[in-house]
């Protein structure tokens, strides 16, 4: 039975999964069914990508970025039995205001995009890039993926890639973000912020910045961090500027459990880069953008949802333990 006010199960027997193919030694491998969500799945959708999926009782639910044929960016709720075939609402989420001040920001709607969804305490929280005189971080909660209650924006503009941790750390709510500008940001490092109540945010700390190569222009947090015995496993996107524009790839880092602004290890190499047609060709070419990761805790199997070329939604697989071991063996420490 599906209940939205109960924590998601640790064991996901129905996790969407494909075994690594014989002869494939990649730590992360793509689903043979990619893209799992086409750009035109629902009426008026130009593209569906950069979306967040979570376990929801014995099924799956999510919040999806849908750019419509007017090229308005917004977020829609969706449900699935198997995590592969999705029923996405045709209309955007109509957020309910948490208090009398929130309508002030709702009335200034500009856009909503790139959501993440995190189970935290007793409900699911959605964070997204919310337009309020420029991009900032919106936040809302739901228990049923039908009614979404919006809190006040997390930060001043300009900011992107707001990702909540799935539990408090030392008594505080914790969130990663990337301060930005009002355009297609040609820079960006990752920061951590703390809050006592999910409304007032402070104690901002630098986490890590760009490094030469595939993550030399900007970086941004991806799926909700995964808690392991070795630290918080964080998947993130890194961007380089090529002669043909930005190239988005996926990497991983390990953060300290009690001081998550401290980097234990960080991969030198990317784990997934735009090498398939559905990642290279689309509205924005050469983009792999991870937003969600399902984990079957007993086995460590992962299903990672990512956007391809800002056009379609794709799926990749891996094992938590293998990624952690790789980071410990080959990654570098420190923020840089």
CATH number of the domain bearing residue 160: 2.115.10.20
Is residue 330 left, alpha or beta, with left meaning phi > 0 and alpha meaning psi from -120 to 50?
alpha
Average pLDDT, the chain: 96
Residue ranges making up the domain that contains 75 = 29-195+205-330
Whether residue 5 lies inside any domain: the answer is: no
pLDDT at 18 over 50: yes
Q: Let me know if residue 108 belongs to a domain.
A: yes
Q: Label residue 332 by pLDDT band (50, 70, 90).
A: confident
Average pLDDT rounded to a whole number, residues 140-167: 98
Residues 6+ apart with CB under 8 A from 120: 164, 165, 166, 167, 173
What is the structure's pLDDT at 4?
A: 60
Above pLDDT 90, what percent of the chain? Answer: 96
> How many whole angstroms separate alpha carbon 85 and alpha carbon 97?
31
Within a domain: 11: no
> Would the pLDDT of 335 be above 90?
no
236 in any annotated domain: yes
Sign of CA dihedral 40, 41, 43, 46: negative
Taking residue 7's Cβ as centre, other Cβ atoms within 10 Å add up to: 13
Residue 112 lies in a domain: yes
Rounded Cα distance between 239 and 214, Å, is 6
Beta strands 149-150; 96-97: pairing state: parallel
User: Per the structure, how many domains does the chain have?
Assistant: 1
Judge whether 128 lies within some domain: yes
Average pLDDT over residues 269-288: 98
In the numeric block, which tokens belong to residue 108?
């200034």
Helices (H) and strands (E) in the chain, counts: 3, 22
What is the per-residue pLDDT for 333? 73
Q: Given pLDDT bands bounded at 50, 70 and 90, which one contains residue 3? A: low
Contact 55, 44 (CB under 8 A): no
Q: Are 101 and 117 in contact (CB under 8 A)?
A: no
pLDDT tier, 6 (very low <50, low <70, confident <90, very high otherwise): confident
3-state secondary structure of 131: strand
C-alpha to C-alpha distances, 324 to 164, 316, 327, nearest whole angstrom? 20, 17, 5
User: pLDDT per residue over 61-100, tens digit each?
Assistant: 999 999 999 999 999 999 999 999 999 999 999 999 999 9
In a domain, 48, yes or no: yes
d(CA 188, CA 309): 20
């Amino acid at each position: 039975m599906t209940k939205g006010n109960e924590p998601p199960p640790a064991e996901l027997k129905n996790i969407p999964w494909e075994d690594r193919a014989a002869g494939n030694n990649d730590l992360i491998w793509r689903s043979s069914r990619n893209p799992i969500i086409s750009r035109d799945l629902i009426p008026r959708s130009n593209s569906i990508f950069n979306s967040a999926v979570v376990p929801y009782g014995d099924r799956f639910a999510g919040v999806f970025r849908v750019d419509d044929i007017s090229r308005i960016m917004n977020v829609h709720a969706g449900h699935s039995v198997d995590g592969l075939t999705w029923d996405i609402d045709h209309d955007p989420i109509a957020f309910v205001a948490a208090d009398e001040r929130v309508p002030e920001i709702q009335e200034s709607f500009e856009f909503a995009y790139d959501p993440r969804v995190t189970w935290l305490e007793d409900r699911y929280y959605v964070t997204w890039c919310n337009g309020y005189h420029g991009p900032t971080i919106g936040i809302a909660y739901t228990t049923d993926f039908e009614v979404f209650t919006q809190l006040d924006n997390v930060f001043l503009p300009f900011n992107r890639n707001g990702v909540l941790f799935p539990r408090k750390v030392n008594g505080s709510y914790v969130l990663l973000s990337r301060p930005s500008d009002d355009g297609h940001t040609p820079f960006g490092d990752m920061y951590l912020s703390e809050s006592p109540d999910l409304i007032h945010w402070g104690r901002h700390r630098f986490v890590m910045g760009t490094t030469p190569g595939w993550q030399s222009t900007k970086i941004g947090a991806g799926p909700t961090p995964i808690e392991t015995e070795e630290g918080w496993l964080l998947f993130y996107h890194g961007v380089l500027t090529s002669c043909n524009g930005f190239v988005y790839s996926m990497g991983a880092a390990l953060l300290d459990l009690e001081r998550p602004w401290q980097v234990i290890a960080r991969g030198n190499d990317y784990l997934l880069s735009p090498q398939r047609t559905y990642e290279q060709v689309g509205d924005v070419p050469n983009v792999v953008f991870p937003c969600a990761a399902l984990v079957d805790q007993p086995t460590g199997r992962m299903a990672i949802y990512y956007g391809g070329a800002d056009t379609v939604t794709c799926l990749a697989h891996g094992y938590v333990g293998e990624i952690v071991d790789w980071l410990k063996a080959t990654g570098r420490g420190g923020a840089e």
